[in-house]
Chain A
């Protein structure tokens, strides 16, 4: 079985501040990890993914995430956020034994001017 926990349901930050959105997972086998972003009343789009190799993954819009196997985490970071980053962010996990991915409950990032 696999599961995902997003540790913060809401994260408010000021514009140009750094941000970290936290994601922990559990799985008995090797995992694939994803971060998706959802703008209001829209579908999700992929920010970045980790399949194997380098543990630091860079994605679109200046976001990056680090896979930490010992801490079973995949936290998303951005050094300086913009108002346009206000959205809901979802962490997702898949593995070779599961027929489907599992999504976390989401983190709402609100960037204030």
Chain B
């Protein structure tokens, strides 16, 4: 089945540690996105990429980093500079990255701080 796979489902971070969230898609989509979801605040865009080896900052990029070395993969690193990392992280993709396209979402990663 085609879709987006996020792993792990749950992740714990110690203070000062960097952690990486995985996102893989087999939909052959050009564009991929990372969103952060906090209770009552909807989805906020962290980073997005419309093509391999290129990505742009979203609304809340500070304390995060990404790479897009392969079309099917868009990992997100939560660095120690992100002081409030506890949230539900959602990865999404779309065919060409245009705003009239449907977004396909993964099932999310819940990140918590130990």
A interface vs B, CB < 8 Å? 6, 9, 32, 34, 36, 41-46, 49, 51, 90, 94-96, 98-101, 103-106
Contacts and interface: CB of A to CB of B under 8 A. Distances in A.
B63 interface: no
A51 B99 CA distance: 10
In this complex, the interface size class of chain B, counting residues with CB under 8 Å from chain A, is 20 to 34
A94 B102 contact: no
A36 B56 CA distance: 24
A44 B90 contact: yes
Interface of B: 4, 6, 33, 35, 40-45, 48, 50, 56, 58, 90, 92, 97, 99-100, 102-103, 105-108, 110
A97 B82 CA distance: 30
A111 B106 CA distance: 25
Contacts of B33: 100
B108 A94 contact: no
Contacts of A6: 42
Contact of A43 (B99, B102, B105): B105
Given A51-B100, A94-B100, A42 B108 contact: yes
A93 to B, nearest CB: 8
B108 A90 contact: no
B107 A42 contact: yes
A19 B79 CA distance: 42
A99 B43 contact: no
